[in-house]
């Protein structure tokens, strides 16, 4: 067996286990609080593609929300109560083929539509998203477990990409030059065709909105596969795209795990894949997609370090670490998961722990909740195992969140804030934990801190906290990471820029959104023309009375 084949089989096994091995869910609505129940019922009554009361999630194909004919369904439970919210289909081969056919047919006309038509779509979509942000946020809280405020932020960061694409006529301007007498060369940007987006569970609104407006305003059609763990936000967004005026087939949504991912990678009519997720899945998708000639952009794992210098503003640095490490239960690819404390800053650990203890962990609709449950019981077990490994390898758990209890929600996937003093040889440092765990590493000098970061294989994001401009400048120049924050804990660039994670955190040549997003979803066509001026018909019109002579 080849190494690639072994990796693919391992990936397939992992995804099937993740999708189908969950514990039995409680009956619909049975475990929800009154506030959550009201929102769940409103979602099910108001939206055609999703359910929060135990119904089935639909496919969206050719402009229609379609009940899947699959025999394989994934039960999706609220991570705070294990209450069944919806059943997600493993979209069949026939249904996927219908989605590709609908997207291919729609491309024939959508690609030739006026750029002003596509601009109007973006303008109307941002209006629809703002008008219905409450529904999207409610879906995210129920399915993913975020707090309501964090769910609104999830949508807002995606909405900013939509707003940027309202400038698509300018973004698609080509180039033209007269290269010599009577000869001109021009370049224009054209869409690729049918594209696909495979989204992760941790940002159910933001990541689909990295692709939908970029792909559609550039003239492509799109097949979206949201995470099978929380597709509700994507289904609401699809319905809002329809209200915003996209024709049938321009956007299609399918669901599932390995089979649908492989179908996307293998179908020759799909020209590009955008993926955000973990290492194993990302490498598999990149290799399999590239093997069939597709463009692929894949954002993978991360281990984001924050360096705290002794001269840093202590209050700002500690609050920033807590927010960036524990927000969204640490389930962010740009979460700060490692704090490198330099010199005297190492004495700040007790105060860091005391502040972290004050965080309120609860269901996302609860007043004052700082973060919610992790996505699944399997994720909780994995996180707890990595915490335990630090103690086994000689680390010190100074704040242990493994036995965190929320009395009102005894069945939730709870992991409390956790702080571990460790070294770079330990598994808890080397592996992406993806939970509310902050690993603290000591360093004597800035040189030591830089060496720690630069030796790590990942390059998504990093930050430094200091009041010295010279220190900040040196860090910015010498650190080998793509996205840098100076006194900013999560330096995700706004969409007028582009995502720039690097090293083992990214596979592909062209990253997400901004100028790079336009490049990813378009191809250049260059035309050189020659019209000789002497060939022009230059007879002057006569105004004299015509005669027959």
Residues that are catalytic = 333
Q: What gap in Å lies between CA 346 and CA 323, rounded to an integer? A: 19
Q: What gap in Å lies between CA 412 and CA 151, rounded to an integer? A: 18
CA atoms within 13 A on the CB side of 542: 4
> CB–CB of 152/201 below 8 Å?
no
CA atoms within 13 A on the CB side of 75: 17
Q: What gap in Å lies between CA 430 and CA 441, rounded to an integer? A: 12
In degrees, to the nearest 5, what angle opens at C-alpha 425 toward C-alphas 423 and 427?
A: 95
What does DSSP say about strands 437-443 and 59-61: parallel, antiparallel, or unpaired?
A: unpaired
Q: What gap in Å lies between CA 195 and CA 202, rounded to an integer? A: 22
DSSP secondary structure string for all residues of 480-534: --SSEEES-SS-PPPTTS----EETTEESSS-SSHHHHHHHTEEEEEEEEE--GG
Residue 400, SS3 per DSSP: coil
Residue 88, SS3 per DSSP: strand
Can you give 319-345 as a three-state secondary structure string? HHHHHHHHHHHHCCCCCEEEEEEEHHH
Report residue 219: phi and psi, to 5°: 100, 5
Instruction: Count CB-CB contacts under 10 A for residue 27.
Output: 9
Instruction: Count CB-CB contacts under 10 A for residue 184.
Output: 14
CA 224 to chain centre: 12
Residue 268, SS3 per DSSP: coil
> CB–CB of 423/445 below 8 Å?
no
Strand pairing partners for 67?
none
In the structure encoding, which two tokens stand for residue 171, read together?
A: 């973004």
> CB–CB of 57/86 below 8 Å?
yes
């Amino acid at each position: 067996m080849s190494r690639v084949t072994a990796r693919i089989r391992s990936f397939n096994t992992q995804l099937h286990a993740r999708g189908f091995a969950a514990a039995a869910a409680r009956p619909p609505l049975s475990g929800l609080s009154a506030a959550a129940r009201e929102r769940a019922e409103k979602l099910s009554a108001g939206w055609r593609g999703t359910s929060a009361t135990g119904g089935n999630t639909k496919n969206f194909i050719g402009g229609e929300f379609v009940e899947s004919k699959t025999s394989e369904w994934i039960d999706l439970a609220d991570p705070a109560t294990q209450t069944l919210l919806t059943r997600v289909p493993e979209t069949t081969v026939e249904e996927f083929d219908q989605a590709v056919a609908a997207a291919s047919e729609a491309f024939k006309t959508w690609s030739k539509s006026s750029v002003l038509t596509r601009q109007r779509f973006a303008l109307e979509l941002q209006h629809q998203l703002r008008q219905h942000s409450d529904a999207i946020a409610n879906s995210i809280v129920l399915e993913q477990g975020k707090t309501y405020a964090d769910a609104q932020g999830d949508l807002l960061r995606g909405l900013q990409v939509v707003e940027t694409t309202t400038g698509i006529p300018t973004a698609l301007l080509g180039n033209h030059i007269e290269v010599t007498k009577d000869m001109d060369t021009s370049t224009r940007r054209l869409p690729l065709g049918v594209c696909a987006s495979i989204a992760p569970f941790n940002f159910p609104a933001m990541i689909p909105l990295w692709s939908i407006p970029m792909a559609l305003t550039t003239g492509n059609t799109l097949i979206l596969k949201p995470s099978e763990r929380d597709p509700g936000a994507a289904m609401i967004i699809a319905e809002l795209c329809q209200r915003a005026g996209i024709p049938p087939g321009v956007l299609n949504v399918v669901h599932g795990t390995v089979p649908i991912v492989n179908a996307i990678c293998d179908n020759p009519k799909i020209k590009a894949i955008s993926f955000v997720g973990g290492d194993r899945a990302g490498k598999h998708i990149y290799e399999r997609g590239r093997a069939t000639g597709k463009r692929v952009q894949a954002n993978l794992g991360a281990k984001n370090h924050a360096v705290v210098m002794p001269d840093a503003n202590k209050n700002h640095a500690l609050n920033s670490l807590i927010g960036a490490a524990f927000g969204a239960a640490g389930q962010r690819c740009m979460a700060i998961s490692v704090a490198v404390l330099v010199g005297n800053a190492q004495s700040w650990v007790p105060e860091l722990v005391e502040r972290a203890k004050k965080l309120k962990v609860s269901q996302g609709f609860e007043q004052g909740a700082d973060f919610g449950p992790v996505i699944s019981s399997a994720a909780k077990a994995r996180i707890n195992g990595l915490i335990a490994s630090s103690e086994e390898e000689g680390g010190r758990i100074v704040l242990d969140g493994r036995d965190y209890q929320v009395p009102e929600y005894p069945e939730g996937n709870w992991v409390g804030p956790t702080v571990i003093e460790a070294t770079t040889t330990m598994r808890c440092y080397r592996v992406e934990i993806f939970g509310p765990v902050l690993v603290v590493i000591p360093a004597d000098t800035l040189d030591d801190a830089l060496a720690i970061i630069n030796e790590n294989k990942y390059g998504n994001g990093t930050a430094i906290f200091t009041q010295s401009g010279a220190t900040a400048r040196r860090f910015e120049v010498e650190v080998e990471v793509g996205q840098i924050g100076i006194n900013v804990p999560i330096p995700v660039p706004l969409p007028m820029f582009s995502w720039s994670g690097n090293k083992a955190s990214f596979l592909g040549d062209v990253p997400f959104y901004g100028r790079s997003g336009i490049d990813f979803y378009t191809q250049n066509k260059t035309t050189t023309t020659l019209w000789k001026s002497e060939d022009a018909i230059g007879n002057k019109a006569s105004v004299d009375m015509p005669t027959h002579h």
